[in-house]
Amino acid sequence: MADAVEALFISTGSEDNTTCSVQDLRTGTDLMRYKGGGVAQHHGLAMISLSYVFVANSAKPLIHVWPINKQEQMASLRFVVPGKVNALSLTPDGCFLAAGIQENIYLWHMNTGRMLNTLSKHYQPITCLRFTDNGEHFISGGKDGAVLVWDLTFAAAPLDTGSGQDSTEPLYSFNDHGLAVTDLYSGVGGIRSHLFTVSLDRCCNVYDLLDGTQLLSVVFPVALHSVIVNRIETQVFAGSGDGKVYVFHMEKAPRMKEYHVEEDELQAFVGHTAGKAITNLALNMSSTSLVSGGEDNQVCVWDVGSRQLIKTLPQNGPVTNLCVRLLTPAVFLPEHKHTQPFADTLKRMITPRTKDDYIELLVTEEYAKGRKSPELDLTKSYPGTDAEILRQLIASMYVGKSQDDKDEAEDECDAEEVESEVVEDMEAEAADEDEEAVVEEEEDAVEEEEDADEAEEDADEAVEDATATANGVDVQKLLEENKRLKEESKRMFEIIFQYVSNNDSATSPRESPAIKTKRKKPRQN
């Protein structure tokens, strides 16, 4: 992007062979000229990405198309429409085309060329059309002063509601202008953006597209013909009928709904011929330069901060369209070829849908047997009081542990049996040793005492060894674990019992403050 330039697309009302020209905004040099399309209609210039240029003819029911890198329009393609186009707009992805012909709006699907619908809600010819930045909605303005906001989904595919109500009604209808709407601008954010409209009634209205309310109406001293807003929507530039471009600062917007701007507080860009209307406005990518074109056959480039005129680009006729695009000069090289994402012709009547208009989806068995979210059984109920339900819940919490408790109890019993057997064996051994000690005592008293002492010591050691380990089982550890489990079970039982008892006492009718018992009054003698 090192060699990227800001290109200015200009169309004029001259009768020469050039329909649209492209110039470098910084240097003013010519980059491309599109020829053979006649005079371009005001608000009749649109583009598909950086591949094709669409221009509506101001005198014939034609829409001309040029590849961006060729001067001649496509020979095998000419869009013939039902009437002369007053306004033209394309979705950002180039899939849908909206054209205002007299008081009707025609919608086409560009890939198939099929006419989707005709919208007839204006009472006078349409003057401007614009899609939102995400292409989900579009706005139309007409000479009747009406500004209509449309949902593209319902406009392109009307639904049969069954109640007789038309599903292609506009999303919002603004009828605040008293004269023809001359231009409109939709900000960034789709349906969550702000809409700016200007009219010959000297008003610049600001609307919130999210809830369809009017936020502000700024009244200028003269009629307005064009409007543009910077990206952050802090400055509103309005082209007037007296050859000046006025600036209104949104960060200093008044609190009243209608505000009349006095002449002494107006900030204007002065440089066009006085009395000639400014019909087109554009901003560069950084919103530091303002481009204005009018009926005085010239395009002026201004510095926004100082409102100084940077340069003037003379034209052969009144300026009808202005558009700034960021691109590289390489897109104009003739060797580049672009795929055609649209049909060769546009149908002039609404045709029924065909099988090519639908997308078939194949659902496999694996997908059908896929994981599903569990469904709640709302018909299941739990009878009983709260205390009974709580007891059942506590019991269910320990159902899974019953088997483990049984296993632990069996281990404790086995440990006690092992301990008792060890003690019995030691007692028997001690008795045998005592008998041997008596026999030896009769033979030799001295030796008997020594042997008895040694036998007692051996017996104590044997008892300790047998108690500590028997058949590979650590008896001492089992006894300690058994004692700990008993204490823990006793403590948990006391906690649960205390909890249930407190709930029972809290719900008993005798202690409940909400229930009062009736007592008989004593008889008075």
Distance of CA 381 to CAs 375, 384, 389, 396, Å? 16, 10, 11, 17
Among 36-45, 73-82, 335-344, 501-510, the range with the most confident prediction by mean pLDDT is: 36-45
pLDDT tens per residue across span 298-320:
999 999 999 999 999 999 999 99
pLDDT above 50: residue 511:
no
- Tell which residue, 475, 457, 479, has the closest CA to residue 466: 475
Q: Residue 235: CB partners within 8 Å, gap ≥ 6?
A: 229, 247, 248, 249, 250, 287, 304
* 481-508 pLDDT, tens digit each: 888 888 888 887 787 877 777 765 555 4
pLDDT the model gives residue 76: 77
Q: Which two tokens stand for residue 146?
A: 């009406």
Q: Quote the pLDDT of residue 1.
A: 47
| The pLDDT of residue 515 | 41
Which tokens belong to 391?
């007891």
pLDDT of amino acid 358: 60
Residues with Cβ < 8 Å from 256, sequence gap 6 or more?
A: none
Of residues 154, 86, 169, the one with CA closest to residue 124: 86
**Strands of the 181-186 sheet, one edge to the other:** 181-186, 194-199, 203-208, 213-219, 258-260
For the chain, what percent of residues have pLDDT higher than 90?
51
Rounded alpha-carbon distances, angstroms, from residue 399 to 79, 328, 395, 455: 78, 75, 6, 53
Strands 147-151 and 172-174: antiparallel
In tens, the pLDDT along 346-374 reads 998 887 766 666 656 666 655 444 444 44
**Residue 238, CB half-sphere, CA atoms under 13 Å: how many?**
32
Identify the residue whose tokens are 């560009």: 110
**Phi, psi values for residue 426, rounded to 5°:** -70, -35
Q: Report, as an integer, the average pLDDT of 430-434.
A: 60
Distance of CA 511 to the CA centre of its chain: 55
Mean of the per-residue pLDDT values for the chain? 81
* 59 vs 337, residue with greater confidence: 59
> Is 332 a residue whose pLDDT tops 50?
yes
Look at the chain and count its residues: 525
DSSP code string of 22-52: EEETTT--EEEEEESS-SEEEEEEEEETTTE
> From CA 26, how far away is CA 247, in angstroms rounded?
23
DSSP per residue, 280-341: EEEE-TTS-EEEEEETTSEEEEEETTTTEEEEEEE-SS-EEEEEEEEE-GGGG-TT------
Check residue 517 and give its pLDDT.
44
- Residue 302 has a pLDDT of 96
Share of the chain above pLDDT 70, in %: 70
Can you tell me the distance from the alpha carbon of 368 to that of 350, in angstroms, rounded to the nearest whole number?
38
398 CB-near residues (< 8 Å, 6+ apart): none
For the chain, domain boundaries: 5-159+166-332+339-352, 386-507
Judge contact between 289 and 5, C-beta under 8 A: no
Quick: pLDDT tens for 85-107. 999 999 999 999 999 999 999 99
Report the amino acid identity of residue 360. E
What per-residue confidence (pLDDT) applies to 255? 81
- What's the whole-number mean pLDDT along residues 76-93? 92
Query: Which residue in 97, 102, 103 sits closest to 61, CA to CA?
Result: 102
Predicted confidence (pLDDT) at residue 287 exceeds the cutoff of 70 = yes
Per-residue pLDDT, 506: 52
Give CA–CA dist 193/208, Å, rounded. 7
* Banded model confidence at residue 459, pLDDT cuts 50, 70, 90: low
Instruction: Look up residue 476 and give its two tokens.
Output: 């001492």
Task: Judge whether 246 and 237 are in contact, CB under 8 Å.
Answer: yes
Give yes or no for residue 514 having a pLDDT over 50.
no
3-class secondary-structure state, position 229: strand
Pairing of strands 244-249, 235-240: antiparallel
Could you give the CA distance from residue 292 to residue 376 in angstroms, rounded to a whole number?
64
| DSSP E strands, 58-189 | 62-67, 79-80, 85-90, 96-101, 104-109, 114-119, 126-131, 137-142, 147-151, 172-174, 181-186
pLDDT given for residue 412 in this prediction:
58
Query: How does residue 519 score in pLDDT terms, banded at 50, 70 and 90?
Result: very low
Q: Has residue 296 got a pLDDT over 50?
A: yes
pLDDT at 397 over 60: no
What pLDDT, on the 0 to 100 scale, is given for residue 505?
55
Amino acid at 113: G
Q: Which residue has the higher pLDDT, 239 or 379?
A: 239
Confidence of residue 465 (pLDDT cuts 50, 70, 90): low
Q: pLDDT tens digit string along 120-169?
A: 999 999 999 999 999 999 999 999 999 999 999 888 877 655 444 556 78
Q: Residue 448: is its pLDDT beyond 50?
A: yes
Q: Which residues contact 23 (CB under 8 A, 6 or more apart)?
A: 7, 8, 10, 29, 30, 31, 313
> Residue 168 — left, alpha, or beta (φ > 0 → left; ψ -120 to 50 → alpha)?
alpha
The pLDDT confidence band at residue 204, using thresholds 50, 70 and 90, is: very high
pTM: 0.67
Across the range 29-38, mean pLDDT stands at 92
Residue 460 is encoded by which pair of tokens? 């104590």
Q: 59 falls in which pLDDT band (50, 70, 90)? A: very high
Per-residue confidence (pLDDT) for residue 371, from 0 to 100:
41
Domain 5-159+166-332+339-352 has CATH 3.20.20.100: no
Which residue, among 154, 153, 125, has the nearest Cα to 140 in the 3D structure? 125
pLDDT the model gives residue 374: 45
Determine the Cα–Cα distance for residues 270 and 290; give it in Å rounded to an integer.
Answer: 12
Q: Which of 38-47, 227-236, 245-254 has the lowest mean pLDDT?
A: 245-254
Distance CA 108, CA 248 (A): 37
Output the 3-class SS for 237-270.
Answer: EEEECCCEEEEEEHHHCCCCCEEECCHHHCEEEE
Burial of 480 (0-12, 13-18, 19+ CB in 10 A): exposed
Tell me what pLDDT residue 376 has.
46
Range in 186-195, 261-270, 470-479 with the lowest mean pLDDT: 470-479
Cα separations (Å) of 239 from 179, 295, 307? 16, 12, 14
Does residue 213 sit in helix, strand or coil? strand
- SS3 per residue for 127-144: EEEEECCCCCEEEEEECC
